[in-house]
Amino acid sequence: MLKASNPVAKYAGLNDDCLYLQYEGLNPSGSFKDNGMTAASTHAVMVGAKVAACASTGNTSASLAVYASVAQKFKVVVFVGSGKIALGKLSQALDYGAKTVQIQGDFDDALARVREVCNEEGIYLCNSVNPFRLEGQKSIMFRVLESLNWEVPDWIVVPGGNLGNSSAFGKAFMELKALGLIDRIPRLAIINAQGADTLYQLYEQEGLRWNGGNYDRAASTDFFSQMDQENRRASTLASAIEINRPVNFSKSLRALDVCDGVVREVTDQQILDAKAQVGAGGLGCEPASAASVAGAKLLKSEGVIASSDRVVCILTGHQLKDPNATVAYHSATDEHMDEKLTSHGVNKAPFSNGPIVVENDLDKIIKVIRSL
Ligand SMILES: *Cc1c(COP(=O)(O)O)cnc(C)c1O
């Protein structure tokens, strides 16, 4: 669903009717992952897979679990890092009947393991290294263009985690242009969380470019070995993008090349503030999704995005995926901030909207209501 949102446009510094939110929270499992998982699970059935697996920060597992339970053709094993998965997402995997394996470590560890396990055991791998996932995710851009009557917007802004979405979007635009269905390609902005900013570091800080496919592989290899040496781990409240080793890194360089793209990083403070504004504007999203709006606001303040540009922000997942983050933010007061928030650098909550505690007394309640 694509919706123009003037309250959110105002927050980002854009003119009325210039900001569109592509809301992916209404998919069967509540995130954009379903666009790709429907294709991958169809392929799994076609090749007669008996077991499919994925590593997940949560939404991939929820999505795979849904499609597997509908298909009833293969079992599902999902690998998650310990303590790294939002409750809404974990509850989905459990309820849809996926076998959930919790390993010590984070998403990057879980993905490395699941790839080994799939190789050893001949299990069908459903992470976004699976090309059918990316083919399916191209359809998000088809739907955006359809909703805009095929008038190409100026910008697509998307959070970057494993970089499957951004890679798929680049491929979609490349193909649509080659087919003559669009006459120009929108610019792409990929937004990392500051605590998980590999793409930002390599693309913006080190100037790594696709270069016709001959990109400087040593630069990325060096980056990752240094990361290992320093034992640097991804850390952000936006758990869906808490990834330091994006598997679609090289494909995303191609997407950035095709779409004359930029990469930015935003803090967890910027993400949660933007999330509260998105919610107040009528489309609730999870933290990672709000990185797109925080990124659009940042790019507008830098003058990279103009206030009259037509900007589409992808809201990747539903508000109810991560209720803990939402409640922690809205319950914050000047005197008390949730520890999990402050440990991620979120020290204020300018848009918090906490519950008002009132005695069960009619006069007192009315007094509160009148003061609203
Ligand atoms: C998976 C996910 C992302 C990251 O998408 P990538 O394609 O891995 O870059 C962002 N937001 C949400 C809600 C997700 O589930």
pTM, rounded to two decimals: 0.97
The fold of the 2-29+134-321 domain, in CATH, is Rossmann fold (3.40.50)
Which of the 8 DSSP states describes residue 123? Answer: P
Per-residue pLDDT, 275? 98
Q: In what order do the strands lie in the sheet with 99-103?
A: 99-103, 75-81, 51-56, 124-125
pLDDT of residue 85: 86
235: left (phi over 0), alpha (psi -120 to 50) or beta: beta
CA of 158 to the centre of ligand 1 (A): 9
The predicted structure's pLDDT at residue 372:
87
Q: In sequence order, which residues have a C-beta less than 8 Å from that of residue 112 and are 6 or more positions away? A: none
Q: Residue 310 gets which letter from DSSP? A: -
Question: Cα dist. 66→29, 140, 268, 290, 310 in Å?
Answer: 7, 19, 30, 24, 34
pLDDT digits (tens, 9 = 90+) for 295-309: 999 999 999 999 999
On whether 162 is known to bind a ligand per the annotation, the reply is yes
Write out the CATH class of domain 33-130.
alpha beta
* 87 annotated as a binding-site residue: no
Q: What is the pLDDT of residues 264-319, one digit of tens each?
A: 999 999 999 999 999 999 999 999 999 999 999 999 999 999 999 999 999 999 99
Question: Does the annotation place 164 within a ligand binding site?
Answer: yes
Distance from residue 332's CA to the centre of ligand 1 (Å): 27
Residues of the chain with pLDDT under 50: none
Q: What is the 3-state secondary structure (H, E, C) of 342-370?
A: HCCCCCCCCCCCCCCCCCCCHHHHHHHHH
Residues within a 6 A CB radius of ligand 1? 31, 33, 59, 128, 159-165, 240-241, 286, 288-289, 316-317
**What is the Cα–Cα distance from 230 to 263, expressed in whole angstroms?**
24
Q: Residue ranges per domain, the chain?
A: 2-29+134-321, 33-130
Return the exposure string of 124-135: e unless at least 16 CB atoms fall within 10 Å of the residue's CB, then b. bbbbbbbebbbb
CA of 131 to the centre of ligand 1 (A): 16
Task: Examine domains 2-29+134-321 and 33-130 and report if their fold is the same.
Answer: yes
User: How high is the pLDDT of residue 81?
Assistant: 87
67 CB-near residues (< 8 Å, 6+ apart): 34, 37, 38, 41
Give the long-range contacts of residues 303-309, CB within 8 A, separation 24 or more. 304/262, 305/14, 305/154, 305/155, 305/189, 307/13, 307/14, 307/15, 307/18, 308/14, 308/15, 308/18, 309/14, 309/18, 309/154, 309/155
Counting other chains too, the contacts that 176-185 makes at CB distance below 8 Å and 24 or more residues apart are 176/141, 176/142, 176/145, 181/150, 182/145, 182/150, 182/152, 183/152, 184/152, 185/152, 185/258, 185/259, 185/260
Any binding-site annotation on 163? yes
With H, G, I as helix, E, B as strand and everything else as coil, classify residue 190. Answer: strand
pLDDT of residue 181: 97
Mutate to test the pocket of ligand 1, among 60, 78, 316 (most ligand atoms within 8 A of CB): 316
CB atoms within 10 A of CB 65: 27
| 144 alpha carbon – ligand 1 mean position (Å) | 17
